[in-house]
A and B are shown apart, each in its own frame.
Chain A
Amino acid sequence: MIRPPDVVDVTPGPMLLSGIADGPSLAAHRVRQGPLPEADAGALLAVIAPLAVRGRGGAGFPLARKIDTVLAHRSRRPGRRPVVVVNAAEGEPASAKDSALLDVAPHLVLDGAVLAARALGAGTVHLVTSVDRPWAGAAAARAVAERDDHGIRWSRHEAQARFVSGQARAVLELLSGRSGLPVTSWVPESMSGHRGRPTLLSNAESFAHLAAAVHVGADRYASYGTPQEPGTTLLTLTEPAGPDGSFGGSSGGSGRAGVDGVPVVGVRVVEVCHGDAASQVLSAQALANPLLVGGFHGAWLSPRDVPALRWSNAHLRALGASLGAGCVITLARGQCPVEETARIVTYLAAESAGRCGPCFNGLPALADEVRGLAEGADTRRRIAELTGLVRGRGACAHPDGTARIVTSLLTTLDGEVEEHLDGRCGCRALSTVGAA
């Protein structure tokens, strides 16, 4: 079974995670960052637009463009006042950076939300966490209780424990008191979002970047990263899954046996500068194996490309991948990417909300074929057919993301798939021994 991590190790970092040793209190945050500066929309955009602060969906949409769109569509009429939504629903089990931020540096996130709300003229900030990570919701509640932001009302929500719960339209459904499943939208939420209002919805990390840029200033912010991609980014590193399918084996407290013999699931959250070498945070074993970048909706990288990998969107794009929400899943030596993909796609198929026909029918069919491949059948033609049938045919990007990881297995790791089918990768031999 795939579930969110029990243990999240957070390593101090250069900017967002710089002061976590002082604790998450507002007092410590103010000592470190100073008072919240006043910034109107023009001033805010002047700081963040050149810094290319981005959302963390697959497309990495620039936050400044979202703010611009909200500004263009707001008005004084009732029902048109903008809304700010901090999305830490984090439905992806391989991601923990938004929950971790709320736990260790909540006031950076909340400062970013207040800066955005004031610049846009929004009166309410919605905070969304996941019901299966109650510690993140509790941390957000503690932080909100410490604050006294004039003219800002905080509203907290808990999203269902589903992979698609963090999708923007699913979050807006939750806010409207419905079930929190994705629905069709023809316009971006920055034009018409929560109850039709222009809505600035982004992940918690993006709000923290916004606050950091304003607090430390554009020059210091840009001293991290590269001229093309200034600043830092958070990654959630998942080390090899155990034989029972749970994640584990990271540094620190994870990997130990949990309650009733259920292994503790652990991940590591790190802050890296754009352009940094992956070898600074990945183990020698991870560097020698295929690497899944961008999470369960992400893409595999070939072991040929992993040792020289840099955390740059341009570099990753050239390799057919993207940072997405920053989930990085590493393999152990001898762990087969075909089996790992089959495990993930089986999970993703079960996580379909079941509302869109091509996803509801296509993902289980696709999962069957990928499991067939893992069991040694050459199902590649049928897999290519099915990925073509699900792509672009749903209210949210769940079918597209599921097609992406499978397609990257067949293209980027075509050599590994050949070896697997020839029985040369070792994993089928292992499973035969296990079955005997």
Chain B
Amino acid sequence: MSAGAGDVVLRVDWPECRARGLCAELLPERIVLDEWGYPVVLGPVSPALQALAREAADACPRRALHLRPA
């Protein structure tokens, strides 16, 4: 999936991530979990989804999910 105008991308700080999985519950539109419980990011986040994405990033107990400019 390529980024459109106004999109942001989700980046995982991998050494910080401990597979708690909240991000996938809060943002199933863009995050699924792999077989070990770590997030798989499905693509850039459109403006319509950004409030949810922000919530998912803020909810991460490890602060391992980041929104970055596309």
Please determine whether chains A and B interact with each other in the same assembly.
yes
- Residues of A near any B CB (own CB < 8 A): 182-184, 186, 355-359, 361-362, 389, 393-395
Q: Which residues of chain B have C-beta atoms less than 8 A from A361's C-beta?
A: 36, 38
Residues A184 and B34 in contact, CB atoms below 8 Å apart: no
With known contacts A357-B18, A357-B19, A186–B36 Cβ distance under 8 A: no
Q: Nearest chain B CB to A360's CB is how many angstroms away?
A: 9
Ordered by A's residue number, 21 sampled pairs between the chains whose C-beta atoms are within 8 Å are A183-B15, A184-B16, A186-B11, A186-B68, A355-B14, A355-B15, A356-B14, A356-B15, A357-B14, A357-B18, A357-B38, A358-B14, A358-B34, A358-B36, A359-B14, A361-B38, A362-B36, A389-B34, A393-B38, A393-B40, A394-B14
Q: Which residues of chain A have C-beta atoms less than 8 A from B68's C-beta?
A: 186
Within 8 A of A (CB), among B12-70: 12-19, 34-38, 40, 66, 68
Considering the chains assembled together, what is the distance between the CA atoms of A207 and B3 in angstroms?
Answer: 37
Nearest opposing residue in chain A for B18, CB measure = A357
Considering the chains assembled together, what is the distance between the CA atoms of A359 and B40 in angstroms?
Answer: 13
Nearest opposing residue in chain B for A186, CB measure = B68
Q: Nearest chain A CB to B63's CB is how many angstroms away?
A: 12
Residues A357 and B11 in contact, CB atoms below 8 Å apart: no
Tally B residues with Cβ within 8 Å of A.
Answer: 17
Residues A357 and B36 in contact, CB atoms below 8 Å apart: yes
Number of inter-chain CB pairs below 8 Å: 40
Of A186, A356, A362, A394, most B-chain CB atoms within 10 Å: A356
Residues A184 and B13 in contact, CB atoms below 8 Å apart: yes
Nearest opposing residue in chain A for B13, CB measure = A184
- Residues of B near any A CB (own CB < 8 A): 11-19, 34-38, 40, 66, 68
Pairs A-B, 4 closest by C-beta atoms: A356-B14, A355-B15, A357-B38, A361-B36
Residues A358 and B38 in contact, CB atoms below 8 Å apart: yes
Q: Nearest chain A CB to B65's CB is how many angstroms away?
A: 12
Q: Which residues of chain A have C-beta atoms less than 8 A from B35's C-beta?
A: 389
Q: Nearest chain A CB to B40's CB is how many angstroms away?
A: 8
Q: Nearest chain A CB to B61's CB is how many angstroms away?
A: 15
Considering the chains assembled together, what is the distance between the CA atoms of A389 and B36 in angstroms?
Answer: 10
Considering the chains assembled together, what is the distance between the CA atoms of A275 and B34 in angstroms?
Answer: 43
Q: Nearest chain A CB to B66's CB is how many angstroms away?
A: 8
Task: Select one of B15, B19, B38, B40 contacting A184, CB under 8 A.
Answer: B15
Q: Which residues of chain B have C-beta atoms less than 8 A from A359's C-beta?
A: 14
Residues A393 and B14 in contact, CB atoms below 8 Å apart: yes
Nearest opposing residue in chain A for B19, CB measure = A357
Q: Which residues of chain B have C-beta atoms less than 8 A from A182's C-beta?
A: 15
Q: Which residues of chain B have C-beta atoms less than 8 A from A355's C-beta?
A: 14-15
Nearest opposing residue in chain A for B66, CB measure = A186
Considering the chains assembled together, what is the distance between the CA atoms of A266 and B66 in angstroms?
Answer: 45
Q: Which residues of chain B have C-beta atoms less than 8 A from A357's C-beta?
A: 14, 17-19, 36-38
Considering the chains assembled together, what is the distance between the CA atoms of A354 and B61 in angstroms?
Answer: 20
Considering the chains assembled together, what is the distance between the CA atoms of A129 and B1 in angstroms?
Answer: 41
Considering the chains assembled together, what is the distance between the CA atoms of A361 and B36 in angstroms?
Answer: 7
Considering the chains assembled together, what is the distance between the CA atoms of A358 and B37 in angstroms?
Answer: 9
Q: Nearest chain B CB to A385's CB is how many angstroms away?
A: 9
Residues B14 and A395 in contact, CB atoms below 8 Å apart: yes
Q: Nearest chain B CB to A279's CB is how many angstroms away?
A: 42
Q: Which residues of chain A have C-beta atoms less than 8 A from B16's C-beta?
A: 184
Q: Which residues of chain B have C-beta atoms less than 8 A from A394's C-beta?
A: 14
9 further A-B contacts with Cβ under 8 Å, apart from A186-B68, A357-B37, are: A182-B15, A356-B15, A357-B19, A357-B36, A361-B36, A389-B40, A393-B12, A395-B13, A395-B15
Q: Which residues of chain A have C-beta atoms less than 8 A from B17's C-beta?
A: 356-357
